[in-house]
Amino acid sequence: MSKVSKFVTSPDGCKIFAEGIGNLEGPTVVLIHGFTLSTVVFNNLFEDDQLLSKLYLVRYDMRGHGRSGRPLDKSDYSSQKFAADFAAVVEEFKRQTPYLLGWSLGATVGADVCAHCPAGYLSGIIYVCALPYIGEIMKDLPKENLKKLQPRFLGQNFEDAIKARIDFIDCMINELNASNWDMRLLWVGASNHMTINDMLTALTREQDPEPLLSAGREGLRLLILSGDADQHLNNEVVDAQVGQHFKNKKVVVIKGGSHALFYEFQSQVVEEILAFVTK
């Protein structure tokens, strides 16, 4: 079983870095990383034998992140273009009716796809400690320490901005130790690859949540995974403001779970993904 890595050209010409691996006969799950990060956060899932034996996994860097293109104009970060990036990746890997797994900021792409792709395009959405869309929900969803970090990311004090990115990663992982130190450095490196403009466009692009909520009311399946020890997000807000619109949903709260839920609680997350996708 070999990993396929490639650059996919989105309709507007933006190059999107993507990778795929797993069972070509199985359902497809597209994994989308969080704010300032990249595909590297899913290294552990790309090596998970249970997932790879049953599913085909695709991961890609959102525009403005990782190895993907970094347009400078705000118009290049429209909802339609994010949906087009997702569709271009799915088409390039010759997959159909994928599941979208969005972690943190990566979950916002679900709203883009629901707004700009045909009905029935997705088999389901998996939220992992998710920000479902850019908008009003951002007033209630972040915890205080995350609210304090945001202005530091964008500040003019270079040393503090770098330290803010390190603090941002460190509070994702509740059990930092020698065994995950290399992974932590990899994530910090990915975060420091972004410019202030990249971060601003990621956090301020415009989205309309109504097509997402409408899809939920029409039966789109939703799995909400979160941890009760997440230091970034008040995850109950997601179910209260978004999940309530989904008539076909499952909510799982993992005791002691961190923001990096799929990393620190990999076995439980994998179990829930497989149960949801293969149901």
pLDDT tens track for 182-207: 999 999 999 988 988 899 999 999 99
* pLDDT for residue 279: 79
* pLDDT for residue 260: 97
- pTM assigned to the model: 0.97
DSSP code, position 254: E
Q: Which residues of the chain have pLDDT under 70?
A: none
* pLDDT for residue 176: 84
Q: 99 CB contacts (<8 Å, ≥6 apart)?
A: 27, 28, 29, 30, 122, 123, 124, 125, 126, 276, 277
* pLDDT for residue 116: 98
CA triple 53-109-123, angle to 5 deg:
45
For residue 50, what are the domain limits? 4-277
Residue 214 CB burial class (10 angstroms; 0-12, 13-18, ≥19): middle
* pLDDT for residue 49: 97
Residues facing 16 on adjacent strands: 8
The DSSP code sequence of 190-224 is: HHTT--HHHHHHHHH-----HHHHHHHHTT-EEEE
Provide the number of structural domains found in the chain. 1
Strand 15-22 and strand 28-32: pairing? unpaired
Q: Which residue has the tokens 């209630």?
A: 140
* pLDDT for residue 128: 98
CATH code for position 244: 3.40.50.1820
